[in-house]
Amino acid sequence: MAIKVAPSILSADYINLQSDIELIEKAGAEFVHIDVMDGMFVPAISYGPAWVKALRPVTDMVLDVHLMVEQPERYIDVFADAGSDIIGVHYEATPHIHRALQMIKNKGVKAEVVINPGTAVALIEPVLHMVDQVLVMTVNPGFGGQKFLPETLAKITRLAEIKREKGYTYDIEIDGGANDETTALAYQAGATVAVAGSYVFDKVDPAAKIARLKEVTAD
Ligand code: DX5
Ligand code: ZN
């Protein structure tokens, strides 16, 4: 099965967002990736729950919300109520990752744990039984258009190994620097979802880029 594609609207055309959404949905993207940045956990400020609420009625794609915010517990309810399908919280953003994931699940939303390039898989092993998705950051979070860090591949391999050994069913998502080459490598290592921002939106023909990611990961 080809990798699921999650275009990040961070690189989309905000003024014409609805047409970008329709375009990627028609091209076969399964998820829309929504990067929430608070100006603290990462330097940039992006957008908040109102964007999730606005997107919900215009698409059937999975709304995949990546919270790059300090103490994400403060915002779980509001993002869940806005219509998120998946909410991701960074291991590094809270001393209470287990509680944050529980809060997401209690809202009936899929729970995701996210790790930065400098964070080891071993640190999230105690919560892997309770997550629907693990996001391995393949760049340092904060900006689109960065270069894929190949040293993150070993973490994908390890997460795939744990998944097999324990019979878990979580998706393994990559985020940052995804293109046809890096996505193929991540897929071989066990990734099942690829976030792609600049690769999909920055140049011509987002639909062809989505098709290409599917093509390089078709078994
Ligand atoms: C980075 C964000 C990403 C970003 C990816 O902090 O989490 O989702 O949009 O952008 P690209 O695909 O351009 O690296
Ligand atoms: Zn992201």
Topology adopted by domain 4-215: TIM Barrel (3.20.20)
Ligand 1 pocket at CB < 6 A: 8, 10-11, 33, 35, 66, 139, 141-146, 175-178, 195-199
- For a pocket test of ligand 1, which of 3, 8, 24, 201 has the largest count of ligand atoms closer than 8 A to its C-beta? 8
For the annotated catalytic residues, the residue numbers are 35, 175
pLDDT for the residue 10: 96
| Ligand with minimal distance to 139 CA | 1
Domain positions in the chain are 4-215
- For a pocket test of ligand 1, which of 198, 199, 209 has the largest count of ligand atoms closer than 8 A to its C-beta? 198
Q: From first to last of its 219 residues, what are the pLDDT tens digits of the chain? A: 899 999 999 999 999 999 999 999 999 999 999 999 999 999 999 999 999 999 999 999 999 999 999 999 999 999 999 999 999 999 999 999 999 999 999 999 999 999 999 999 999 999 999 999 999 999 999 999 999 999 999 999 999 999 999 999 999 999 999 999 999 999 999 999 999 999 999 878 999 999 999 999 997
Separation of alpha carbons 218 and 213, rounded Å: 9
pLDDT for the residue 119: 98
Whole-number Å distance, alpha carbon 178 to ligand 2 midpoint, is 11
* ipTM value > 0.85: yes
pLDDT for the residue 204: 83
